[in-house]
């Protein structure tokens, strides 16, 4: 794969008759006098080799570069002469070489260096004095580049004139005085003699790049308190760094450069250092880069920690972001069984290494307990049966991901049930991702505490309008919503304390807020201690973004728990590691995967040591049950696996006005909903003292087709295939031919409330026949006679599609006006990268209830693997 940030290949460079004279050209004429100006650090030059007569106007490199960002000769044919300082003409390299004027001019704003783009190859080497003729070009490599790389392109002649004088590297020091300082040395040989710190490794595997900075690790402006303003810190960070590139012009270089070892133990971590970096400067993808001419010598100043730092205490609690651990393949997490195996293995090693007695998890698939049970099973396979158990919180919220909790039964005992809030203030942008709380007691002394696991709204996927209150105003997008969530969290947790009498609370998770941002300040103002502030400032980080470190993952202690906290640690196994070392298999031509904790996620886990004050044993009601998530009107929906302990009365509210008071010993309950809709189901166990345990959830009831239903056209097949292979099938279940001119298909992309694309149908559709709509760029070789190509089939797994008759929606796939993230899910079914077929017996469409109600596609649809096309063109109705 080509690196689009440099010239792609030989064919992408327009070569107009490359005349490679390439002979040693002594006495060939031309201007062999040195350019005016001082020496610029180079030895005195008295004589230069003779070159051939210049076929076009001979210009000094400094004149071509000019004093500004753009060349005054852009687009003009010129001839230049200089000494080759760096040669990157290899097959996977930059397709060119750098030359430098041996004598500097008197203008410090003009560079003496120039890149010569010669993809055909030129017989030159470092130290040669060469003459090159071509057209001056300002190469743009990034979509928002305010700068360009001045280069000589469309080369027509290159001549080697002889051995050139030695070129001394210009010493450059960070931080820069201004953002444009390096423009004056673009294309030149430079050296950073100072010690620089690796501050970003994100693009190491993809582009062979590291970000280097001065002054040690760079921190996000909102992470540390200080006298400087946010803008001042941002400006200082921007001037303190440069990109170390690798001289390659491809993506996914093999081998990956700059790693510490040639095998799977190799890494290059944020915090490592390097001195004496020597190379040539370019402008690429919105930043200045240096391509080294000699291999940099790194110092592993931030070695991998084999275990978390000691936190003391008799119990350990913490949190771990598991980076979209999905057992349903092809959604946000693993795409293949191999990737899931790799992901699982890394997370197991991380959980084993943390050795927490109670651990909160974020970004696990919200599919009941399926993903949670899978992960815990793998951990126990390594540690021994029943070492860990999970807390069953049902299916909290409406997001595709949720928070969860695991614990060691030998160390702590759950008291009562998990608690999940229903406060709408936890919902953001149409989705609900609530926290989960569980009360625990230490096995040894019954010391109790609440563990509350959180995942606040992310900083990305910003609102469309810059005027939106949740637009980025300096604390990332959605800060107002995160602040609202933090306030709701305080209110809810204080309610838990009041209801239970247990005031020791530890809140953990991914708060998506740096240490000095509004949500964190709000929680501190509410009486909860931000425990990370007990760490030295340089250890207060769990995430690295854009070359800046900061803490997004936190632990907050209530006032009464604070004195029982012995220590806190952030286990830096993820944020400092290159992304290329993760579980994914894509873009891994040099696969360095290892089943270790390192880069098991993008966030570092947090660990807290506790010594809990002894308490009297607490007995409260506990209730387990499996609630239905979907149902069909007229068909019984069942609650199964009911297990009630420490309670004397059981009640169920089915959400449609029906309540029951079954016996406490019942194990199964059933109810038939009369109509379609979204209903909140609650099962409650009470004791004589008024304490309760509750299981609740949303049941989405779909209208059931029956023999008395009037048949109507409906979507019978949905193909969300690879690339542009998208298709919709419409089926006619009626007894006669249908006039299609009354029907319109509409696409609503990314949660839109107005159609993104519409197609008014034409012609007729015979009874029992289908109409196929396919993407205009449908590429598969399968034959689809009569298929209609249209942009209405340009959908993804999170888009909604409707079928209207005379302006009335008669069928819909997905919820208009709501974006579920990447896909709608239900059971083991996903709308991403899947073929879905309407189940037999359906005689008309259905319209899902709107958000925040959930739409469960598994009620009416059956799933098949990606790129299954063999059912298109026909439908089995019964």
Quick one: pLDDT at residue 9? 36
CATH value at residue 402: 3.60.10.10
Is residue 298 a part of any domain in this protein?
A: no
Select from 610, 644, 670 the last residue of a domain: 610
Q: Is 857 helix (H, G, I), strand (E, B) or coil?
A: helix
Q: Are residues 449 and 584 in the same domain?
A: yes
Here the CATH number for the domain that contains residue 673 is 2.60.40.10
Residue 304 lies in a domain: no
Are 791 and 676 in a shared domain? no
pLDDT score at 443: 98
Same domain, 684 and 813: no
Pair 720, 774: CB distance under 8 Å: no
Residues 493 and 364 in one domain: yes
pTM reported for the whole predicted model = 0.78
**DSSP 8-state code for residue 580:** G
List beta partners, residue 2: 250
All residue ranges of the chain with pLDDT < 70 are: 1-46, 142-146, 430, 704-709, 852, 878
Which string of DSSP letters, residue by residue, matches 395-447?
A: S-SSSSEEEEEEE-TTTEEEEEEEE----GGGEETTEE---EEEEEEETTT--
Residue 2's pLDDT is what? 40
On whether residue 872 sits in a domain, the answer given is no
513 lies in the same domain as 423: yes
66 and 95 part of one domain:
yes
Residues 656 and 750 in one domain: no
Q: Is residue 243 part of a domain?
A: no
Contact 312, 531 (CB under 8 A): no
Q: Among all chains, which residue has been given the structure tokens 């509210």? A: 653
Looking up residue 120, the CATH number of its domain turns out to be 2.40.50.140
| CATH number, domain with residue 731 | 2.60.40.1260
Percent helix, strand, coil in the chain, to 5, is 15, 35, 55
In the structure encoding, which two tokens stand for residue 28, read together? 């060939």
Is residue 670, in this structure, part of any structural domain at all? yes
Q: Strands 149-163, 677-686: parallel, antiparallel or unpaired by DSSP?
A: unpaired
Residue 770 counted as domain residue: yes
Number of domains in the chain: 4
At which of 645, 678, 702 does a domain end? Answer: 702
Mapping DSSP to helix (H, G, I), strand (E, B) and coil, where does residue 861 land?
A: strand
Pick the closest to residue 679 from 700, 658, 695 (CA basis): 700
- 255: preceding bond cis by omega (within 30 degrees): yes
Asked if residue 571 is part of any domain, the answer here is: yes
Query: How many other CB atoms are found less than 10 A from the CB of residue 235?
Result: 15
Question: Residue 766's CB: how many other CB atoms inside 10 A?
Answer: 11
Question: Which tokens go with 613?
Answer: 């004050």
Enclosing H/E stretch for 528: none
| Alpha carbon distance 746, 760 (integer Å) | 9
Nearest to 277 by CA among 206, 197, 205, 219: 197
DSSP conformation letters of 137-161 = EEE--STT-SS-EEEEEEEEEEEEE
Q: What is the CA radius of gyration of the chain?
A: 32
227 in Cβ contact with 267 (< 8 Å)? no
Residues 293 and 16: their CA atoms lie apart, in Å, by: 29
User: How many CB atoms within 10 Å of residue 9?
Assistant: 13
| 8 A C-beta contact, residue 64 and residue 114 | yes
- Short-list 46, 48, 50, 47, CA closest to 25: 50
Residues 78 and 136 in one domain: yes
Report the distance separating Cα 319 and Cα 314, nearest Å. 17
Task: Judge if 728 and 589 occupy the same domain.
Answer: no
* DSSP 8-state secondary structure symbol assigned to residue 43: P
Q: Residue 83 has what pLDDT?
A: 98
Write out pLDDT tens, residues 660-712: 999 999 999 999 999 988 898 999 999 998 889 999 888 888 776 555 568 89
Where a domain ends, among 167, 188, 222? 167
Q: Which one, of 675, 681, 683, lies nearest residue 699 by Cα?
A: 681
Q: Which of 686, 29, 601 is nearest to 362 (CA)?
A: 601
Is residue 280 in some structural domain? Answer: no
Cβ count within 10 A of residue 549: 25
Q: Whole domain around residue 80: which residue ranges?
A: 10-167
Domain co-membership, 689 together with 726: no
The answer to whether residues 491 and 626 belong to one domain is no
Contact 713, 730 (CB under 8 A): yes
| Residue 14 host element (H or E) | none
Compute the distance between CA of residue 602 and CA of residue 606 in angstroms, rounded to an integer. Answer: 13
Residues 372 and 510 reside in one and the same domain: yes
Residues 6+ apart with CB under 8 A from 799: 747, 748, 749, 750, 756, 814
CA distance 233 to 235: 5
């Amino acid at each position: 794969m080509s690196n689009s940030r440099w010239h792609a290949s030989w064919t992408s460079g327009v070569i107009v008759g490359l005349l490679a004279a390439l002979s040693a050209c002594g006495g060939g004429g031309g201007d062999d006098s040195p350019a005016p100006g001082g020496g610029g650090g180079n030895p005195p030059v008295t004589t230069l080799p003779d070159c051939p007569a210049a076929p076009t106007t001979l210009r000094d490199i400094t004149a071509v570069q000019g004093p500004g960002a753009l060349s005054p000769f852009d687009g003009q044919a010129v001839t230049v002469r200089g000494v080759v300082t760096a040669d990157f003409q290899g097959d996977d390299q930059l397709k060119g070489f750098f030359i430098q004027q041996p004598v500097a001019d008197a203008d410090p704003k003009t560079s003496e260096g120039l890149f010569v783009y010669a993809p055909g190859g030129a017989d030159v080497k470092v130290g040669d004095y060469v003459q090159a003729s071509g057209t001056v070009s300002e190469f743009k490599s990034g979509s928002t580049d305010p700068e360009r790389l001045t280069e000589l392109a469309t080369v027509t002649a290159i001549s080697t004139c002889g051995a050139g004088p030695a070129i001394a590297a210009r010493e450059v020091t960070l931080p820069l005085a201004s953002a444009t300082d390096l423009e004056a040395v673009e294309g030149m040989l430079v050296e950073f003699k100072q010690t620089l710190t690796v501050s970003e490794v994100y693009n190491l595997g993809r582009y062979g790049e590291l970000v280097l900075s001065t002054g040690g690790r760079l921190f996000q402006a909102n992470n540390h308190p200080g006298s400087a303003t946010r803008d001042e810190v941002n400006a200082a960070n921007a001037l303190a760094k440069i990109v170390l590139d690798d001289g390659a012009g491809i993506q996914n270089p093999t081998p990956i450069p700059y790693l510490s070892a040639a095998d799977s133990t190799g890494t290059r971590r944020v915090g490592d250092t390097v001195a004496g970096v020597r190379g040539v400067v370019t402008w690429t993808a919105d930043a200045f880069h240096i391509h080294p001419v000699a291999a940099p010598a790194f110092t592993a100043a931030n070695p991998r920690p084999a275990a978390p730092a000691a936190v003391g205490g008799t119990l350990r609690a913490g949190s771990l972001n598991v980076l979209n651990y999905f057992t349903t393949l092809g959604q946000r997490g693993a795409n293949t069984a191999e990737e899931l195996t790799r992901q699982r293995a890394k997370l197991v090693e991380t959980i084993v290494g943390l050795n927490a007695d109670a651990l909160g998890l974020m970004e696990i698939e919200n599919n009941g307990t399926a993903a949670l049970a899978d992960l815990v099973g793998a951990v126990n396979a390594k540690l021994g049966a029943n070492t860990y158990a999970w807390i069953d919180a049902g299916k909290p919220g409406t997001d595709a991901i949720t928070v969860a909790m695991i614990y060691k039964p030998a160390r702590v005992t759950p008291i009562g049930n998990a608690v999940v809030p229903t406060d709408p203030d936890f919902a953001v942008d149409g989705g609900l991702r609530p926290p989960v709380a569980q009360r625990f007691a230490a096995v040894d002394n019954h010391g109790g505490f609440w563990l509350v696991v959180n995942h606040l709204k992310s900083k990305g996927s910003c609102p469309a309008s810059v005027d939106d209150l949740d637009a980025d105003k300096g604390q990332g997008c959605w800060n107002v919503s995160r602040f609202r969530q933090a306030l709701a969290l305080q209110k809810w947790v204080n309610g838990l304390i009041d209801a239970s009498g247990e005031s020791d609370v530890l809140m953990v998770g991914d708060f998506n807020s740096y240490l000095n941002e509004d949500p964190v300040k709000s929680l501190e103002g509410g009486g909860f201690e931000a425990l990370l502030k007990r760490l030295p400032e340089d250890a207060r980080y769990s995430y690295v973004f854009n070359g800046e470190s900061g803490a997004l993952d936190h632990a907050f202690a209530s006032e009464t728990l604070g004195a029982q906290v012995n220590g806190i640690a952030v286990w830096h196994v993820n944020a400092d590691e290159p992304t290329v070392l993760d579980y994914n298999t894509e873009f891994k031509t040099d696969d360095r995967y290892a089943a270790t904790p390192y880069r098991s996620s993008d966030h570092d886990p947090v660990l807290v040591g506790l010594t809990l004050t002894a308490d009297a044993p607490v007995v409260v009601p506990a209730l387990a049950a499996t609630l239905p998530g979907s149902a069909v009107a007229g068909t019984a929906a069942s609650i199964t696996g009911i297990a009630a302990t420490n309670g004397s009365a059981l009640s169920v509210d089915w959400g449609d006005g029906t309540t029951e008071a079954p016996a406490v010993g019942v194990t199964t309950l059933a109810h038939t909903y009369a109509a379609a809709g979204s209903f909140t189901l609650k099962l409650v166990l009470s004791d004589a003292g008024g304490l309760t345990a509750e299981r609740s959830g949303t049941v989405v009831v779909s209208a059931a087709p029956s023999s008395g239903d009037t048949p109507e056209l409906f979507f019978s097949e949905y193909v969300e295939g690879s690339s542009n292979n998208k298709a919709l099938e419409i089926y006619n279940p009626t007894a006669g031919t249908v006039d299609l001119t009354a029907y319109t298909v509409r696409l609503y992309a990314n949660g839109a409330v107005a159609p993104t694309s519409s197609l008014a149908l034409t012609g007729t559709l015979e009874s029992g026949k289908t109409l196929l709509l396919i993407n205009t760029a449908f590429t598969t070789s399968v034959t689809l006679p009569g298929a209609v190509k249209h942009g209405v089939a340009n959908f993804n797994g999170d888009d909604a599609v409707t079928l209207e008759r005379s302006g009335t929606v008669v069928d819909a796939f997905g919820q208009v006006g709501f974006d579920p993230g990447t896909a709608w899910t239900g059971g083991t079914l996903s709308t991403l990268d899947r073929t879905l077929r309407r189940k037999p017996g359906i005689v008309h469409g259905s319209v899902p209830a709107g958000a925040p109600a959930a739409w469960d596609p598994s009620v009416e649809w059956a799933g098949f693997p990606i790129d299954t096309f063999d059912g298109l063109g026909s439908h089995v109705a019964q």
